[in-house]
Amino acid sequence: MWYCILVLICVLKGGGTVRRKRRIMSGLLALCIALSVLPLSACTAPKLTLDPEELYALPELPERYTALNKQLSAIQESGAEYAAPVSGSNIQPVQMMDLDGDGREEALAFFRQSDGEKPLKIHIFTADDDNSYRQAAVIEGSGLAIYSVDYSDIDGDGRMEIIVGWRVSMDLQALAVYSLEPDGARELMRTNYVKYAVADLNKDGKRELTVLRANQDGEGVADCYVSKNGALTLRSSVLVSMTMAELSQQGKVTVGTLRSSDPALFITGVADGARAITDVLALRGGELTNLVLSAITGVSGEVSRFCSVYPMDINGDGVTEVPRTVTLQGEDADHAVSQRVDWISYDASGTASRVLSTYHDVADGWYLQLPEGWPERVWVGRSTSPDEIGITFYTDSSREESYVPVLRITALSGSERERLAVRTGRFILGRNDGVIYVGELLKGNQDWKYSVTEDEVRASFSLIGTEWSAGDN
């Protein structure tokens, strides 16, 4: 019986035509029914003759979803077509979300209607007590596309606000926030933007909306909106170090935490694809403040070579650290291979403190927390072959001009990787997507003051996880 059920699931998920699936499902359903009525003793079971076509029936959707589907079909028949958000984490053409906190999900459908001044439309349907959906509101917008949509209880009343990014033109985006009211959708605020973040920055139970945009002079600005009297009101603004062009491409907004346990926003922009500029924004006395903005230069003190790494809690201590690249010693000091990353935490006054250092091999998908004594005493070399990519750490422990190898970490691929991974002296550090990562302690490690063991290397080694995202909001 259980076997039949498992096969049914596989059929539903598998390929093939609908007619073929129907016939297979018909036979399996018939077999399941037959097994359920047969007695335990097969010798006394009557011989059954079943016609699968007579037993087959498509599963029926709940009545309320059938009614919703009819309304969506009617919208399409009127000339509209689905126009799902093109970026962000919510990119489905029809999305289910409990907006009013009553335990029942509203349905939001995203369409484009070719005629009219506002062709972009978000239809919102609410569930009724009679197992059906009714249209409660329509949000309309003009422009090229619905760029993104997100949902957040900004004012802490248990109801979700709808945050919509509109792609007005190739060079302009507008951000609007709506609340679902009994008489329709009400717009709470609207502004131009490049990126935004929603976070409770003062821990009062309400969330602030921080919008990154360019002011009239082309400078980057962060605007902080707070919920007040049923609307979102601009509370304070502060300059940021990067232009919106530097923020929009490879830039990122990270919601994190300071050493003082205060929430903060870490704004990272990338200049010319080579320099990372990070601002740290927090609320102080109710005003948005840039903790790392220099009063002398007017820009952030956190500027270093970009290595495709962004602020994160690198050591799991609950505090967000900012990556700061530092040049290692050696002949290839100007090369990206010869860069370590110092991870910097901040307190509420903007005081920085280095937490730890890592070597990030982003291209090959791993990083190593550098052991004590290593950051200022090693340099790095890279070697490649068709099936092996190795990073070797060197030190001049002999105090001579020539450097000696201490540790090599190699990424193995290809058909021979399993054999190569157990070659004498190597120990496995991890596996990921058909790649085996191995370590190898070399001669310079033996008598060095800061030598490490295989277990210490394993504990310091981590794979770089791939964070899937359809884009930013």
DSSP 363: G
Answer yes or no: is pLDDT of 234 > 80. Answer: yes
CA angle at 150 for the pair 148 and 154, rounded to the nearest 5°: 140
From 65-74, 192-201, 243-252, 272-281, the region with the lowest mean pLDDT: 65-74
Q: What is the pTM of this model?
A: 0.83
Answer yes or no: is pLDDT of 8 > 50. Answer: no
Which backbone phi and psi does 213 adopt, to 5 degrees?
-155, 175
Answer yes or no: is pLDDT of 83 > 90. Answer: yes
Task: For residue 438, list its beta bridge partners.
Answer: 410, 428
> Band of the pLDDT at 12, cuts 50, 70, 90?
very low
> Band of the pLDDT at 5, cuts 50, 70, 90?
very low
Q: How far apart are CA 244 and CA 251, in angstroms?
A: 9
Which backbone phi and psi does 51 adopt, to 5 degrees?
-100, 105
Residue 145, number of CB atoms within 10 A of its CB: 19
Question: Under 8 Å CB-to-CB from 64, ≥6 apart: which residues?
Answer: 127, 128, 131, 132, 133
Q: What tokens appear for 328 in the block?
A: 């290692």
Report in angstroms the alpha-carbon separations of 190 from 85, 204, 211. Answer: 18, 24, 11
Question: Under 8 Å CB-to-CB from 163, ≥6 apart: which residues?
Answer: 149, 150, 151, 152, 175, 176, 177, 196, 198, 209, 473
- Strands 184-192 and 145-152 come out as unpaired
Q: How far apart are CA 124 and CA 135, in angstroms?
A: 6
Residue 36 has a pLDDT of 41
Q: Average pLDDT, stretch 50-67?
A: 60
Residue 26 has a pLDDT of 44
> Band of the pLDDT at 135, cuts 50, 70, 90?
very high
Q: How far apart are CA 282 and CA 362, in angstroms?
A: 30
Q: What tokens appear for 287 in the block?
A: 């005003």
Q: Average pLDDT, stretch 1-10?
A: 42
Answer yes or no: is pLDDT of 41 > 50. Answer: no
Closest of 366, 356, 419 to residue 390, by C-alpha: 366
Q: Average pLDDT, stretch 147-159?
A: 96
- The 10s digit of each residue's pLDDT in 175-187 is 999 999 999 999 9
Q: How far apart are CA 417 and CA 386, in angstroms?
A: 11
Residue 334 has a pLDDT of 52
Residue 225, number of CB atoms within 10 A of its CB: 24
Answer yes or no: is pLDDT of 336 > 70. Answer: no
47-52's contacts with Cβ under 8 Å and 24+ in sequence apart are 52/23, 52/26, 52/27
Q: How far apart are CA 96 and CA 356, in angstroms?
A: 43
Residue 296 has a pLDDT of 84
Burial of 57 (0-12, 13-18, 19+ CB in 10 A): exposed
φ/ψ region of 63 (left if φ > 0, alpha if ψ in -120 to 50, else beta) reads alpha
For residues 455 and 249, which has the higher predicted lDDT (pLDDT)?
Answer: 455
Question: Under 8 Å CB-to-CB from 332, ≥6 apart: which residues?
Answer: 338, 379, 381
Q: How far apart are CA 386 and CA 155, in angstroms?
A: 56
Q: How far apart are CA 197 and CA 209, in angstroms?
A: 6
